[in-house]
Chains A and B, each alone.
Chain A
Amino acid sequence: MRSESLGKERIIPEIPWDRVGVWIAALLTLCIYSFLYRDNVLYKIAEHLFVGVSLGWALCVTYHQAILPKMVYPVFMPARVDLARPDFVVAVPVLIGLLWFARFIPGVGWLTRVPIAAVVGYGSGVGATAAIHGNLLPQLRATLLPVVARSDSGAFDLWLSIGNAVLIVGVICVLAYFYFSREHRGVLGGMSRVGIYFLMLAFGAGFGYTVMARISLLIGRIDFLWLDWLRPLFY
């Protein structure tokens, strides 16, 4: 980068922002990992930096992606969002949204309930139908499986039949376990015990997958430290 001053050219060295960024990222990574030895100042600094930066980023994204194109431009600069004329109706949800802050004004704090009711009401209405049509009915339908199953060629398929039977038994027994309106005795008690074993299988599988997920995150960071930060220093 050059700048001219009094007719003479002055060369300002280009700052390698990519490398600077990698070093900052690597040092911050090590600050977080220092917690593994024990809680310390470096970790606390990194932690609070993360809190501030993450919320700041979220605010920036909300501003540029939601506030400007959905609230500001439709009213003041409609051409920027392909509108032929200003859309003043946008003022209604903006006013409702502003009522979130009514809680800070003495005497009118109750107005906060308006946006809360709007959000919760909408969510409940959609949630009820989504739960029934999106979860309950399809999942029940998918449980109605033939215990005497046939393969595509029409022949009896033993493994498919066993799999279907196990699935059906699993669903019924787990539901029996979660039925707390009656004491788990007799047949219900037996089904409930079987349900517990099915749940343990599921939780065990979930734990195995969780271990896998956490280790993948660690591998990602070690990859970065070695490939992006340290290896370029040596090769």
Chain B
Amino acid sequence: MIVQFFVPNRLSEDATERASDWLIIIGAFAFILGVGSLIKTHGERLRRRHPDWPYSLLALAAFAGMSIVGVGWGIDPGKPAFWLFTNVYVPLDATMFSLLAFFVASAAYRTFRARTPEATVLLVAAVLIMLARVPLGAFIYEGLPDLAEQVLISPVTGAKRGIILGITLGVVATSLRIILGVERAYLGGE
């Protein structure tokens, strides 16, 4: 793929198209492997009569039910699987993550302390953004949203760019190590 990037030739592009198509198909199988892993984990819990085995049975039953309905009848709007998606999957997924709002509030009160100068800077930046990104901020001080934007544009962008550059150098180094065969942990610990 590295060589292909520098060779804008019809043959090179055809080879890339074919390779990309094949990777899409290979990727689909990787997902199926993940499904097998779930079935194995919960199946083990059932077999060993783990204290939470009824929940594992529920998880497997829900998986089987959704799979049969979806594979058998399709997933288009109007189909039973779409109804299950809208009325079971969506509320569960959305609500699970919305719990974090409560925990963020609790954490902000109990642990967010200006113990050091660095922590104080973090706290001030967080409060500035929280105020500026809602109408309340402009109500308190008209120029607050613009001030927050200036903080984001220069110092925060500079810091984030430093992080991006550091990560990018790491990605390049790791990619080269894998390509050159120095890094082989992904093959299973050899």
Tell me the smallest distance from the CB of B75 to a CB of chain A, in Å: 5
Question: Contacts of B166 on A, CB cut-off 8 Å?
Answer: 174-175, 178
With the chains together, A199 CA to B28 CA distance in Å?
A: 39
The reply to whether the CB of B147 lies closer than 8 angstroms to some CB of chain A is no
CB contact under 8 A between A202 and B75, given known A52-B59, A93-B21 = no
A interface size (C-beta, 8 A): 111
Q: Contact partner of B56 among A48, A62, A63, A112, CB < 8 A?
A: A48
Question: Contacts of B187 on A, CB cut-off 8 Å?
Answer: 113, 116-117
Q: Contact partner of B160 among A45, A57, A173, A202, CB < 8 A?
A: A202
Question: Contacts of A129 on B, CB cut-off 8 Å?
Answer: 1-2, 5
With the chains together, A24 CA to B59 CA distance in Å?
A: 17
The reply to whether the CB of B98 lies closer than 8 angstroms to some CB of chain A is yes
Q: Contact partner of B22 among A96, A124, A163, A172, CB < 8 A?
A: A96
- Closest residue of chain B to A162 (Cβ to Cβ) is B154
Check A57–B66 contact: CB distance below 8 A.
yes
With the chains together, A36 CA to B179 CA distance in Å?
A: 48
With the chains together, A225 CA to B44 CA distance in Å?
A: 37
The reply to whether the CB of A227 lies closer than 8 angstroms to some CB of chain B is no
Listed stretches A4-12, A76-84, A150-158, A204-212; interface member: A204-212
Q: Contact partner of B122 among A53, A119, A204, A220, CB < 8 A?
A: A204
B interface size (C-beta, 8 A): 106
CB contact under 8 A between A211 and B108, given known A178-B166, A201-B159, A205-B151 = yes
Check B25–A94 contact: CB distance below 8 A.
yes
CB contact under 8 A between A56 and B64, given known A24-B87, A198-B159, A204-B122 = yes
State the majority secondary structure of interface residues on B: helix
CB contact under 8 A between A56 and B96, given known A124-B175, A214-B104 = no
The reply to whether the CB of B32 lies closer than 8 angstroms to some CB of chain A is yes
CB contact under 8 A between A66 and B28, given known A60-B81, A201-B156 = yes
Question: Contacts of B169 on A, CB cut-off 8 Å?
Answer: 136
CB contact under 8 A between A204 and B188, given known A129-B1, A131-B171, A197-B121 = no
Q: Contact partner of A131 among B28, B67, B98, B172, CB < 8 A?
A: B172
With the chains together, A41 CA to B34 CA distance in Å?
A: 27
Question: Contacts of B153 on A, CB cut-off 8 Å?
Answer: 163, 167
Check B87–A166 contact: CB distance below 8 A.
no
The reply to whether the CB of B138 lies closer than 8 angstroms to some CB of chain A is no
Contact with A along B10-34 (1 / 0, CB 8 A): 0000000001011111111111111
Please list the residues of chain B having a beta carbon within 8 angstroms of any beta carbon in chain A: 1-2, 4-5, 19, 21-36, 38, 52, 55-56, 58-67, 69-71, 74-75, 81, 83-102, 104, 108, 118-119, 121-130, 133-134, 150-166, 168-169, 171-172, 174-176, 178-179, 186-188
Jot down 26 A-B pairs with beta carbons below 8 A, ordered by A: A25-B86, A26-B91, A28-B95, A32-B92, A45-B55, A53-B63, A59-B67, A60-B66, A92-B22, A93-B23, A132-B172, A135-B171, A139-B161, A140-B165, A166-B154, A167-B155, A170-B157, A170-B161, A170-B162, A174-B159, A175-B162, A201-B151, A207-B122, A208-B130, A210-B104, A215-B101
